[in-house]
């Protein structure tokens, strides 16, 4: 609990005014099983611990404002942070902004965070993309809402559960393959008659279909690295990490 708050910063050719970070599980005050930098107010952690963790995050990243925390529901709703601020955290799974002083954020613990930035620094967005969100079209809706030509967008895929640890059934595979037979390449049959699912491959495929060709990140596994990442599938009761992006 006394460890330093450190983050992963996307390695991508975004303009200098685009700021982004992904938190690890360390550097906060939450007690087990939320130890220690849990940033979610919806997982059963003590609210005073969550508030202190968020304060530390604001201080560590020198954020221009409180992040626009969402009530995530594995859907496709995208909040425009340049519009009037809602009175309470909205039920949504993505947010976007064109103005400075707005901090887009999504929380994850196996689902994939996807950050977007316009090449000219005119817009940013963050999307929460687990398998349900990917299948339902959260990336497509986020790109549509941002309004920047897809070829002018950069995307970054943050830490998610890797294919070696993400076993799914026929129903999940069918959600993707029914509308895109080529998505079958992201599923590998295992010895138990189920499938190992590659969320990174599915996201890249959907982004490519949209015309977003400059995609970075990937390669982590939240399930495999317990010292760095929360994982719902590994631990069930756990905290949430955050992927943030804003314009400076």
Position 86 scores a pLDDT of: 62
Domain of 142 in residue numbering reads as 7-161+217-247
Point out which residues pair with 155 in neighbouring strands.
116, 215
Number of structural domains found in the chain: 1
Q: Is residue 53, in this structure, part of any structural domain at all?
A: yes
Task: Please give the backbone phi and psi of residue 200, each rounded to the nearest 5 degrees, phi first.
Answer: -60, -45
How many helices (H) does the chain have, and how many strands (E)?
Answer: 6, 13
CA distances in angstroms from 68 to 62, 65, 133, 195, 216, listed in the order given: 15, 9, 19, 35, 24
Tell me, what CATH number does 79's domain have? 3.60.140.10
Q: Is residue 199, in this structure, part of any structural domain at all?
A: no
pTM to 2 decimals?
0.97
Q: Is residue 131, in this structure, part of any structural domain at all?
A: yes
Position 88 scores a pLDDT of: 79
Q: Is residue 191, in this structure, part of any structural domain at all?
A: no
Q: Is residue 243, in this structure, part of any structural domain at all?
A: yes
Q: Is residue 167, in this structure, part of any structural domain at all?
A: no
Position 1 scores a pLDDT of: 45
Q: Assess contact for 149 and 181: CB atoms under 8 A.
A: no
- Measured distance CA(41)–CA(28) in Å, rounded: 14
Q: What is the mean pLDDT of each run of 10 residues along the chain (248 residues)?
A: 84 98 98 98 97 98 97 97 81 97 97 98 98 98 97 98 98 97 98 98 98 97 98 98 97
């Amino acid at each position: 609990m006394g460890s330093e708050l450190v983050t992963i910063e996307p390695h991508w050719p975004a303009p200098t005014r685009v700021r982004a970070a992904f938190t690890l599980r360390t550097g906060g005050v939450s007690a087990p099983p939320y130890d220690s930098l849990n940033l979610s107010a919806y997982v059963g952690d003590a609210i005073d611990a969550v508030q202190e963790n968020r304060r530390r995050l604001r201080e560590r990243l020198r954020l221009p404002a409180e992040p626009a925390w969402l009530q995530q529901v594995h859907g496709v709703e995208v909040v425009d942070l340049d519009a009037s601020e809602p009175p309470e955290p909205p039920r949504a799974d993505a947010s976007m902004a064109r103005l400075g002083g707005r901090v887009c954020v999504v929380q994850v613990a196996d689902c994939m965070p996807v950050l977007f930035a316009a090449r000219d620094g005119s817009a940013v967005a963050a999307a929460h993309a687990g398998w349900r969100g990917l299948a339902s079209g959260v990336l497509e809706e986020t790109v549509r809402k941002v309004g920047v030509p897809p070829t002018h967008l950069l995307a970054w895929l943050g830490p998610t559960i890797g294919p070696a640890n993400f076993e799914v059934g026929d129903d999940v595979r069918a959600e993707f393959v029914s509308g895109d037979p080529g998505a079958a390449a992201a599923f590998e049959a295992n010895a138990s008659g189920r499938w190992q699912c590659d969320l990174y491959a599915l996201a890249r495929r959907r982004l490519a279909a949209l015309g977003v060709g400059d995609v970075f990140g990937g390669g982590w596994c939240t399930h495999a690295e317990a010292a760095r990442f929360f994982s719902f599938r590994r631990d069930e009761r756990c905290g949430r990490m955050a992927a943030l992006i804003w314009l400076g």
